[in-house]
Each structure stands twice: as structure tokens, then as C-alpha cells.
């Protein structure tokens, strides 16, 4: 499976720790109340030899989340709103500290998505508080002692920003810059040739669950290929147990082995053809990322991807997810 998803699944990241990985999306683990960041291979060698590394302590920007997500709006839509507002690399070399009542309403899968996509803001780390959801996630996964961390009351922030989750709508990132974001409702109508659900941003159980809810008993549109790469083997098996893989398969989705897959063009047998439009649940839409520079990549939530795979065109998922019960975790 995907390294970042395994790091958090298998208890390698724990509260209060300093965790690094040789990829920018190592920032994901901050959802578990630790400081997690990406480093270079040579730096990893230095750590293997000495167990230490130097760091410049970044300034911190506090992002406060209020309210609750409305039906059809997901953590990925939060990240796209943030990226739209701040721009790609808009928080370059800062640490983000997430907080707020809105954050408390988000399950761990959603929190991993939020921290993961902070990489595209250029952030050094994205730290979340420790609460009962963090504790529940860690139970049975982490060995050894760990101490949660929280901000000092007198901590200084470079800036504090607020996002009201209740007012957010599904968003989509247009080719080929991640901060070219528009409401899905305004970008709708474009034919989708290839739809992808997966990646370290959105390859978790809740993402597959959401897609299954939208596709249950229905068929992916003719002319649209829906590829699904569960993030890890454990998620794949859980999805199998829960009937999600069956639902997706019966709907015509191509369910592939756990891994990065089409996020970064690793499904070599499914490279898009010239002129095709791809809608991906991953984190980046740079030209050529899926293996063909002559194909445009849009990025959105798994809900938007599933809804669009169903109709064959970019579609607002709220057409299919109208009640809060449908997004029950």
C-alpha cells in the first residue's frame, strides 16, 4: 500500500513525535498530533547513522475550523477551499496548527486528508490536536509510550485564519495548477474519460465508502473508466468485508491493488490517451502526471469523482448525497 497510509495505519506516527519521510506528503501524519515533514534521501541516511537531524523551526499559522460539513461536502473540499484562498505554496515553510470545534467533528480519515493536502501549500508540517478520535485511532496500533502535545495558551502565531465548514461547497481544481479552484457546480458539464479514486490524499475507507454510496445499484457511464486504488491492503480487505468492493465492481469500476496507482501514473496499463479528461481524487494536477502530457487533469473529492463517473460529466455530488445520514461515518 501507500507508504503514508501505512505509516499512520501501523502506528509508526504517534503523538508528540518528530516523524520524517522521504516524500512531501509525509506531512499527513501530523493528524496524529505529531510534527511530520518530508526530507531528502541523504538526510534520511544521516538519521539512520545518527538518529538526529537539524531543523529550522518554522513560524506557525493557525487555521481554525468552525461549523460542520454539509452533505456531499468532504475534507477534500476543505483542502481545496484552503488552497484556493491561500494559493499553491501559500503557507511556504510554515507549520500549520489546525484547531476549532469544526475539526472535532471530523473523523481521522478526513483529518489525514486535510494534513496530507497541506503539502501543496508548501507547509513544513500540519499539526492537529489530540482528542478522543485520535485516541481511538491509535488504540492497538502504537507500541511504546507517547505523550500528546498541545499549544501553550500564550503561543504566538504568525497569523490565524478561520474557515466555516458549514458554508463550504464541493470544489474542483482545474488543469494544471492545484490552486486554480472553482465550485464543482460551475465547472460541471465537462465530459470525463477517466475517473480515479485513491492516493494518500483520498484512498481511505471513508473515501471508498462514499463512492460506494453514490454508485450502489447504478452503473458508471459509458465512455468513462473509473479506477479505484485502495490506499492499503488492510483498507482493501476492510472494503471487501463491507461489500464496498462488490458494489464498486458491479457498478463497473476497475478496482486495482492497493497502492499509489493512477495518482502518479503508476497504473501503466491505464495511461490516459491524447485529449482525454481525467478527474482524480489525488493531490496534484500538473500536466503529464498520469503519464500523458496531452491529457487534462482535474482534482476533486472522491464524492465528486464518483458522481462524475456515474454521469460521465463533472458533477456536483450533492445531487446524489442529500441527507446527512448518507455520509454517516
Partner 1 sequence: MKIQGRAHLLGDFLNTDMHFTNKYKYEGKGVEFLAQHVLEDIDPHYPNRIQSGDILVGGTNFGATSTREQAVKVMRRLAIGAVLAKSFSRLFYRNALNNGLPAFQCDTSDIKNGDSVEIDTASGEIVVAEGRQIIQVRPLPPLLQALVSSGELLSFVKAHPDWR
Binding site for partner 1 (CB under 8 A): 24, 37-40, 42-43, 45-46, 49-50, 52, 54, 56, 58, 89, 92-93, 122, 124
Number of Cβ within 10 Å of residue 155's Cβ equals 10
Closest among 263, 305, 303 to 285, alpha carbons compared: 263
- Least Å distance, CB 37 to partner 1, is 8
- Beta carbons of 271 and 297 less than 8 angstroms apart: no
- Least Å distance, CB 121 to partner 1, is 11
Number of Cβ within 10 Å of residue 191's Cβ equals 14
- Least Å distance, CB 88 to partner 1, is 8
- Least Å distance, CB 219 to partner 1, is 40
- Least Å distance, CB 221 to partner 1, is 35
User: All 3 cell numbers of residue 200?
Assistant: 494518500
- Least Å distance, CB 93 to partner 1, is 4
User: All 3 cell numbers of residue 120?
Assistant: 501543496
Closest among 306, 276, 120, 138 to 210, alpha carbons compared: 306
User: Positive or negative, the Cα torsion across 109, 115, 116, 117?
Assistant: positive
At residue 160, the 3 state secondary structure works out as: strand
Nearer residue to partner 1 within complex by CB, 103 or 282: 282
Q: Which helix (H) or strand (E) holds 310?
A: helix 302-311
Q: Please tell me the distance from the alpha carbon of residue 103 to that of residue 67, in angstroms, as a whole number.
A: 9
Nearer residue to partner 1 within complex by CB, 49 or 156: 49
Nearer residue to partner 1 within complex by CB, 25 or 81: 25
Nearer residue to partner 1 within complex by CB, 73 or 123: 123
Nearer residue to partner 1 within complex by CB, 126 or 208: 126
Q: Please tell me the distance from the alpha carbon of residue 195 to that of residue 253, in angstroms, as a whole number.
A: 9
Question: Would you say how long the chain is, in residues?
Answer: 329
Nearer residue to partner 1 within complex by CB, 20 or 110: 20
Amino acid at each position: 500500500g501507500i507508504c503514508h497510509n501505512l505509516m499512520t495505519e501501523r502506528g509508526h506516527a504517534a503523538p508528540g513525535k518528530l516523524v520524517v519521510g522521504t516524500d512531501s506528503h509525509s506531512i499527513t501524519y501530523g493528524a496524529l498530533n505529531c510534527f511530520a515533514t518530508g526530507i531528502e534521501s541523504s538526510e534520511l541516511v544521516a538519521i539512520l547513522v545518527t538518529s538526529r537531524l537539524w531543523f529550522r523551526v518554522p513560524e506557525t499559522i493557525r487555521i481554525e475550523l468552525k461549523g460542520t460539513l454539509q452533505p456531499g461536502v468532504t475534507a477534500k473540499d476543505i483542502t481545496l477551499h484552503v488552497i484556493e484562498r491561500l494559493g499553491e505554496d501559500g503557507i511556504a515553510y510554515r507549520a500549520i496548527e489546525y484547531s476549532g470545534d469544526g475539526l472535532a467533528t471530523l473523523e481521522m480519515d478526513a483529518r489525514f486528508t486535510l494534513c496530507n493536502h497541506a503539502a501543496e501549500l508548501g507547509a513544513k508540517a500540519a499539526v492537529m490536536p489530540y482528542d478522543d478520535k485520535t485516541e481511538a485511532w491509535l488504540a492497538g496500533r502504537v507500541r511504546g509510550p507517547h505523550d500528546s502535545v498541545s499549544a501553550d495558551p500564550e503561543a504566538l502565531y504568525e497569523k490565524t485564519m478561520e474557515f466555516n465548514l458549514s458554508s463550504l461547497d464541493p470544489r474542483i481544481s482545474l488543469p494544471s495548477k492545484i490552486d486554480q479552484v472553482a465550485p464543482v457546480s460551475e465547472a460541471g458539464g465537462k465530459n470525463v474519460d477517466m475517473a480515479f479514486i485513491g492516493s494518500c490524499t483520498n484512498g481511505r475507507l471513508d473515501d471508498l465508502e462514499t463512492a460506494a454510496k453514490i454508485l450502489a445499484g447504478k452503473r458508471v457511464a459509458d465512455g468513462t473508466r473509473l479506477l479505484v486504488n485502495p490506499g492499503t491492503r488492510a483498507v482493501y480487505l476492510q472494503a471487501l468485508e463491507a461489500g464496498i468492493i462488490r458494489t464498486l465492481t458491479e457498478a463497473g469500476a476497475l478496482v486495482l491493488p492497493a497502492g499509489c496507482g493512477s495518482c502518479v501514473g503508476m497504473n501503466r496499463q491505464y495511461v490516459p490517451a491524447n485529449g482525454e479528461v481525467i478527474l482524480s481524487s489525488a493531490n496534484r494536477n500538473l500536466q503529464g502526471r498520469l503519464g500523458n502530457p496531452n491529457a487534462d487533469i482535474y482534482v476533486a473529492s472522491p464524492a465528486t469523482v464518483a458522481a462524475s463517473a456515474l454521469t460521465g460529466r463533472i458533477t456536483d455530488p450533492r445531487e446524489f448525497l442529500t441527507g446527512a445520514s448518507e455520509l454517516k461515518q
